[in-house]
Structure 1
Amino acid sequence: MARFEDLEVWRRAARLSADIYKGFADLCDFGFRDQITRSGLSVPSNIAEGHERESSKEAAQFFSYAKGSAGELRTQIYIGMDIGYIDRETGKAWLKEAEEISRMLHALIRSTKP
């Protein structure tokens, strides 16, 4: 596969990140907004960076960073739901997508390691 844009996991992570940015465009709690959007953005960014690396070991490391960021994102979604920043329906959909992205990353990491 020549391009990270061809990876389904990257496309889904980028879409989720964009949805999160849109969802928090008007939030005045800049600390929370900054943290959740950065962790969401980190997932597709690390997938892209890993895919562009020369070695399988480096690629797996960046895919692992992306998986960690997906866990961070899920934590922030739970907290956002608890404090009323994210409605339950949206939060559950984002959690489901983030969990699926984590599973896809796990498989990608396993297939990448030498």
Structure 2
Amino acid sequence: MAIKKFEDILVWQRAQALAVEIYENFGSLRDYGFREQITRASVSISNNIAEGFERSSNSDFVRFLYFASASNSEVRSMLYLSVKLNFISKEKASDLIDKTNEISKVLFGFIKSISKKE
């Protein structure tokens, strides 16, 4: 069955859930620059998936999935830093890092699947 709308894409749903968790954990952080960077990067994951889905070709979609992957990696990197800066507990960061790793796996599987169709 072909996906008819981006809202049906599992990795988009997971990226949205991750962004909500990032906002919940960093929304009141007093370090404005850090807070802005991690929240924007987290939102960028699902936004790139959505934007790519609406493009006219699979190669364009794949390009945006790579953008989503890069934003996901940025969030993961910032999560490691957030522990070192004592912005979040090691346990909570580990949970969120696991979620970014899962998103990464699904994104690369999706990229591989779409690339085979070309």
Which residue number corresponds to residue 55 of structure 2?
A: 53
Question: How many aligned positions are there?
Answer: 114
TM-score, normalised via structure 1 length: 0.97
CA distance in 2, matches of 1:69, 1:22: 18
Q: Distance in 2 between matches of 1:56 and 1:91?
A: 34
Q: Determine helix, strand or coil for the equivalent of 1:53.
A: coil
Match of 2:27 among 25, 28, 43: 25
CA distance, structure 1, for counterparts of residue 58 and residue 75 of structure 2: 25
Q: Return the alpha-carbon distance in structure 2 between the equivalents of residues 102 and 18 of structure 1.
A: 17
Instruction: Give how far 1:10 is off.
Output: 0.5
CA distance in structure 2 between the aligned counterparts of 1:72 and 1:66, rounded to whole angstroms: 10
**Residue 96 in structure 1 maps to residue 101 in structure 2:** no
The partner residue of 2:15 within 13, 16, 25 is: 13
Q: How does 1:34-113 map to 2 (within 5 A)?
A: 34-113=36-115
Deviation >3 Å, runs of 4+: none
Q: Distance in 2 between matches of 1:109 and 1:96?
A: 20
Residues 41-80 of structure 1 deviation map (CA, whole Å, 9 limit, x = unaligned): 1101101111111100100000010011111110000000
Q: Quote the Cα distance in structure 2 between the aligned partners of 1:59 and 1:31.
A: 30
Instruction: Give the distance between the partners of 1:51 and 1:25, measured in 2 at CA.
Output: 29
Shift of 1:36: 0.5
Q: Aligned partners of 2:88, 2:54: CA distance in 1, in Å?
A: 34
Give aligned-pair identity as a percent. 38
